Amino acid sequence: MSITNLVLALEANLQAEIGAKNAQIALLDGQEQAIAARDVDALTLASNELQLQVHREIERATKRAATLSELTRALELPATSRVGDVATALGARGRTLAARRTELRARCAASLKKSRHVASLVRGHASLVEEALGRYLSPDPSGAPLGRGSLVDAEA
Amino acid sequence: MSSIALNIGIEGLLAAQTALDTVGHNIANANTPGYSRQSVLISAGPTQRFAGRLVGTGVRAEDIVSVRDLLVDRRILSQRGLLGRLEAKSSTLSDIESLMGEPGSGSLSSTVSGFFTGVSRLSANPGDPVLRQDALRAGVDMADRFRALETGFQKLRKDADARLGAQVKQVNTFTRDIATLNRAIAAAELGGNQANDLRDTRDETLRSLSDLIDVNVVERHDGSIAVSTRGQILVSSTRNFELESTVSKQGESILHVRGSDQTLRPTGGSIAAFLEQVNEVLPQQIEKLNALAKTLVHEVNKAHSTGVPANGPFRSLESTHAITDGDGDGAYDDELLSESGLPFDIQDGQLSISVTDRVTGDIETVQIDIDAEETTVGDVVSALNGIPQLTAVIEGDGFLSLRAAEGYGFDFAARSFPTSGTIGASTVGITGRYAGEAASDLTFRPRSAGDVGATANLLVDVFDQSGDRLATLDVGAGYVPGTELDLGNGLKASFGLGAITNSDSFELHAVADGDTANVLAALGMNSLFEGSSANDIAVSARILDDPRFFAASATGADGDGGSLSAMLAVSEGSFDGLAGSSPVQFIGSVAADIGFERSSAELAMDTERALHDGLVAQRDARSGVNVDEELVNMLRFQQAYQASAKYIQVVNSLNDEILRLL
């Protein structure tokens, strides 16, 4: 593949990643809302969609790594070169690539921030649920049949 | 922006914590009576402008509300009132049924039957002292049973009254609690949030209150409720009005709100049932028991009072019921006999008194006419004193005392008189006891003249007072003078030697009942039973002391059990005071009515309980806590959080990876 085609492929990959990051941020927003609203169905749906997106992102990451590797070889750059190094090496031809890189960095940072925020929410909520479940599903030390009952006790 | 984002997270976390706390609260109270499931109302937080853009602020838990259906709650209240009433009614009726113990041994019907069985056995051999004693013992058992039942009914009434009083106090406690809860709820809800647990406590108190009395509930805008019953306020917002149970002038237990003179008549709740038991059911039972006792005493005494004791005519006799001085003038003589305070009615009729010469055996019978509207006590006493060898006195305490002169005795037997007379030169003798329905004046008139026992076809016609010929007696040739000839209705006539003519006649007053005016039974003279109601019925102390005074005979003749036969007729008779039935039938119908009422109440209770349970199930489906559901919800959240956390971790890794490549 020529250098031009490799550059175009990398630009397209970054563009697709930027769109994916926007969708990812939206999904994380959805998760946050689902957690806040205690809407377990919405939370599960958002998690499933996130799972699909992660699969696609891994595919794109694999392709991106291959394209970047080929470009660094063609441009005789060190094997550890990053997209920024490639854009600099390309000079004027690398302006679009550089712009997409900048935009993607921003989207990644936003996604990272959002995901950390949601992760923190999830941890908080999960610990509450753990505590509640531990409280009501733990064996009853008093042995009272219906006090702090287990499911079996509750049915009885 | 970051502070808003952080705030969104905190609000969400707080909302979730509130929701989870509520779930925990629901589970913890799953078995709390009357607890209504609570849920968290979550709403979007207010939008804020940030850097020229409108930014959401997440969610917040607005309120925790009880999940309840007010309509079902109200229907449960009224249903509990119905159930409370039916339960109390059924319980009291069951107590009455147990007390009566019909138709078991020792029951009233068995002791009444036992008495008549004793009388029946004695009638087969009236002179048998053992059978006489047995009959009296059976009478004592019957009287004891009456008194025990009456005492039992009075005790049930007292118990029901005491329970009524206790429940009225309970109502006041509940209404006081509701007023207190009203205050607490109004204060707690000032901020706009619902005081769910306080409301649940108040609802449970309301439900307990509705078990006792039917209530109407109206909720006010501040969350307090007004509770009323039959249009009278029991709780008005923060104040309660206490109920009071008092006794009316008529002796009825009545309810009213303290300070109000308006009588409260609840239709639901156990209080309504107890009021009904105290004021209606038990008094009616006591009234029926008294009616039965009174009828038995009256009817048996009517038969007994004209009987003749085994030891012959009385030397003296005193009434067991006193005459009262109605007009308070200190004299009894001027009192109308029918209005002299005697427990039994007096009617128009005649009282027969026979005075017997104990030496000669001659009997002089006199009839006193009684007019219920006109005859005074003085008239009767004067008439009695007009009978030779008899003295009548009203003692200072109002009891009538009769005394025969030395060598004489008296009784009130149904004797036809005169027992002898003449037609021409022939002596006529009368024997037997007249068994006609009513007294009658009979006239003996020969059709022709001739000699008794000699003249052929010498016939004597016997006419009643209407002129109808009752019999024709052949006393001519072939008749052996002195032979008794049957007149019918239990009477016999004999003719002595002598000539008779068709211008001669003999008048006989045939007496069917010695006391058609029922004066003796009313006064309690020669009575088998004393008293006139279930609480004072007793076999005469004089007869128990000396059973020979048990007047088995209607005539005084040996082996005569005429008085016993008349008493036995009471067991089969039908009486107005017993709704046209016999004593045993009456007891059976009273017991059957109670049994029917009880089984109806139980049937209705089953139906109403099913309805109540249905309503409670409906309420629980909406308001109750399903522990499984709550726990399953939490487990689902747990899984969802785990999945979410896992993918977020991957997302973070991928983001890091991209940033490294960029």
From the CA atom positions of chain B, what is the Rg in Å?
44
pLDDT tens digits, residue range B192-218?
777 878 888 898 899 899 999 988 888
What is d(CA B48, CA B43) in angstroms, rounded to the nearest whole number?
15
Q: How many CA atoms lie within 13 A of B655 on its CB side?
A: 23
Is the peptide bond between B103 and the residue preceding it cis, with omega within 30 degrees of 0? yes
Q: If you measure CA to CA, which chain A residue comes closest to B41?
A: A37
Contact of B385 with chain A, judged by CB distance below 8 Å, is answered with: no
Q: Does the beta-carbon distance from B662 to A82 stay under 8 Å?
A: yes
pLDDT band at B260 (very low <50, low <70, confident <90, very high): confident
pLDDT band at B417 (very low <50, low <70, confident <90, very high): confident
Contact of B14 with chain A, judged by CB distance below 8 Å, is answered with: no
Q: Are strands B316-318 and B420-423 parallel, antiparallel or unpaired?
A: unpaired
pLDDT at B67: 59
Angle at B156 between CA B155 and CA B161, to 5 degrees: 95
What is d(CA A123, CA A27) in angstroms, rounded to the nearest whole number?
18
Q: What is the residue whose two structure tokens read 């249905």?
A: B614
pLDDT tens digits, residue range B318-356?
999 999 988 888 888 898 888 889 999 999 999 999 999
Mean pLDDT of chain A: 82
What is d(CA B495, CA B420) in angstroms, rounded to the nearest whole number?
10
What is d(CA B155, CA B143) in angstroms, rounded to the nearest whole number?
18
Is 50 exceeded by the pLDDT of residue A152?
no
What is d(CA B6, CA A156) in angstroms, rounded to the nearest whole number?
44
Interface test with B, best of A115, A127, A153 (most B CBs within 10 A): A115
Domain boundaries, chain B: 1-67, 420-510, 633-662
Q: To 10 degrees, the CA torsion angle through A133, A134, A135, A140?
A: 120
* Residue B485 · residue B493 · CB < 8 Å: yes
Contacts of B26 in chain A (CB under 8 A): none
Q: Does the beta-carbon distance from A61 to B8 stay under 8 Å?
A: no
Comparing B370 with B231, the larger pLDDT belongs to B370
What is d(CA B459, CA B251) in angstroms, rounded to the nearest whole number?
70
Q: If you measure CA to CA, which chain A residue comes closest to B637?
A: A40
What is d(CA B257, CA B655) in angstroms, rounded to the nearest whole number?
77
Contact of B633 with chain A, judged by CB distance below 8 Å, is answered with: yes
What is d(CA B305, CA B524) in angstroms, rounded to the nearest whole number?
8
Domain boundaries, chain A: 3-112
What is d(CA B601, CA B591) in angstroms, rounded to the nearest whole number?
15
Is the peptide bond between A139 and the residue preceding it cis, with omega within 30 degrees of 0? no
Q: Which two tokens stand for residue B113?
A: 């039957």
Contacts of B40 in chain A (CB under 8 A): 38
Q: Which amino acid is at A62?
A: T
Q: If you measure CA to CA, which chain B residue comes closest to A130?
A: B638
Q: Looking at the partner chain, which of A58, A61, A129 has a beta carbon nearest the beta carbon of B638? A: A129
pLDDT at B243: 93
pLDDT at A150: 34
pTM for this model (two decimals): 0.68
Is 90 exceeded by the pLDDT of residue A32?
no
pLDDT tens digits, residue range B376-413?
999 999 999 999 999 999 988 899 999 999 999 999 98
Q: Are strands B390-394 and B426-432 parallel, antiparallel or unpaired?
A: unpaired
